[in-house]
Amino acid sequence: MRAATLTRRLGRSPGFRRRCTVLGSCTVALIGHVAAARAQEKEGTRKVTTVCLAWQAEMSCPSAPETEHVVEEMLGRPLFQGPSCDLKIEASLAKADVRGWEAKLSFAREDGVPLGVRTLRTQDTSCQALKNPVSLVIALMTEDSEARSTFYVPKETRSPPPTDHSMGISATVAGAQGLLPSVALGNSLGVDVALATWLSARIDTTFWFPQSSESVGPGGEFWAWHAGLAACPLLGRQQGVQASACLGFQMGILRGRGQGLPYPQSDTKAYADADARAILSVPLGQTLALLIFAGAAVPWLRPGFAYLNASDSQIEIHRSSTVVFLAGLGIESSVSANTDGAESKP
């Protein structure tokens, strides 16, 4: 009887009823929190059905259609179709600061919520080495998108390794002080071939327009042409702007024709120099760049032009300076091709 009475009293106790109410509320809240967490986890790991890919890469790198094809092959289903998208990707492929290549992939949901950045680096000489790793990261992100990560892609071994050779064709307006009697203007055409990520070879030819000597009495009109070869190591690259130094030599001719002489006189003589130039390349688009260069040449063949006066003495009217200063401005167009014969497209 006393036990039953005690039970009934506890059931009617206000303190006991308050404790039961609080416990019940906590239990309901805990169940709701667990359910919400499970729903959020399910939402975060849901599979992506459509993807929008914004692609920015150099000509020798994989193209967006190539990457999309590889990703869809990995997943076995189409992803890159339709105007809407569950996942937004911004991809940028470019040469690394020191050597090799680097890919940066930024991911965001359709509503703009960022999902992180993936960075891939390779020391391979070919940007094509990033195609499969980039495709794999995109494929994985369509299944699970979390956190910021950096992946280091090992250098691929190939036998023989396909080397990417980029080539630039340039046309410049050049100026020279010390080559002809006064400041000379010329047109130059050049071809730049990449031998490695840090070194290129440059071949160019320049025609210097005629200039007349300024002197009292007989003088002359002179023009020049030369062609040369140079090695151009890369000094640095930042956001597409590239600086390099070129060391090489030039060989050609100087042509002179007498003026104010009692009878016509003309002559053609050999000219040669060793020169050094600093070249700055500023991108204007995917395949075009602005070229700016400045440098100096030291002639080791300095032909002189003279005439005989009435007493049969030679009077020199022109000889190239011991140091010739050079500068120029022009446009370069880039073309890239692999050793396997497949030309890269923009």
Q: What is the pLDDT of residue 146?
A: 43
C-alpha span between 116 and 105 (Å, rounded): 8
Q: Which pLDDT belongs to residue 91? A: 93
pLDDT band at residue 298 using 50, 70 and 90 as cut-offs: very high
Residue among 282, 272, 262, 269 at smallest CA distance from 334? 282
As given in the structure block, the two tokens for residue 343 are 């030309």
Give 250's contacts (C-beta < 8 A, 6+ positions apart).
206, 226, 227, 228, 271, 272, 273, 274, 275, 297
% of the chain exceeding 90 in pLDDT: 36
| pLDDT exceeds cutoff 50 at 240 | yes
pLDDT of residue 76: 82
> pLDDT digit string (tens) for 110-119?
888 898 899 9
d(CA 167, CA 51): 34
pLDDT in tens, 161-175: 444 557 899 999 999
Q: What is the mean pLDDT of the chain?
A: 79
> Given pLDDT bands bounded at 50, 70 and 90, which one contains residue 249?
very high
How many beta carbons lie within 10 A of that of residue 205, not counting itself?
16
List pLDDT tens digits, range 322-331. 999 999 999 9
| Overall average pLDDT of the 146-151 stretch | 44
Q: Model confidence at 311, in pLDDT bands (50, 70, 90)? A: confident
Whether 229 shows a pLDDT value over 90: the answer reads yes
Least confident segment among 46-50, 62-66, 85-89, 325-329: 46-50
The share of the chain scoring above pLDDT 70, in percent, equals 74
Tell me the CA end-to-end span of the chain in Å, nearest whole number.
94
What are 68-114's pLDDT values in tens digits? 888 888 888 888 877 778 888 999 998 887 678 899 999 998 888 89
**pLDDT for residue 10:** 42
Q: What is the pLDDT of residue 165?
A: 57
Q: Is the pLDDT of residue 281 over 50?
A: yes
For residue range 180-221, list pLDDT tens digits in order. 998 999 999 999 999 988 899 999 999 999 998 876 667 889
Which pLDDT belongs to residue 3?
A: 42
More confidently predicted of 297 and 182: 297
Please give the distance of CA 316 from its chain centroid, rounded to a whole number.
50
Residue 312: pLDDT band with limits 50, 70, 90: confident
What pLDDT does 49 receive? 75
| Per-residue pLDDT at 287 exceeds 90 | no
Please tell me the predicted confidence (pLDDT) of residue 218: 79
Average pLDDT over residues 242-251: 95
pLDDT of residue 277: 96
d(CA 95, CA 126) in angstroms, rounded, equals 10
Hey, what domains does the chain have and what are their CATH numbers? Answer: 51-152 (3.30.160), 164-338 (2.40.160.20)
Q: Which residue has the higher pLDDT, 304 or 49?
A: 304
* pLDDT confidence tier of residue 28, bands split at 50, 70 and 90: very low
Q: What is the pLDDT of residue 159?
A: 46
Question: What pLDDT does 274 receive?
Answer: 97
- Tokens 């040469």 locate to 95
The answer, yes or no, to whether residue 52 has pLDDT greater than 80, is yes
Mean pLDDT of 60-67: 89
SS3 per-residue string spanning the chain: CHHHHHHHHHHHCHHHHHHHHHHHHHHHHHHHHHHHHHHHHHHHCCCCCCEEEEEEECCCCCCHHHHHHHHHHHHCCCCCCCCCCCEEEEEEEEECCCCCEEEEEEEEECCCCEEEEEEEEECCCCHHHHHHHHHHHHHHHCCCCCCCEEEECCCCCCCCCCCEEEEEEEEEEEEEECCCCCCEEEEEEEEEEEEECCEEEEEEEEEEEEEECCCCCCEEEEEEEEEEEEEEEEEEEECCEEEEEEEEEEEEEEEEEEECCCCCCEEEEEEEEEEEEEEEEEECCCCEEEEEEEEEEEEEECCEEEEECCCCCEEEEEECCCCEEEEEEEEEEEEEEECCCCECCC
| C-alpha span between 314 and 305 (Å, rounded) | 9
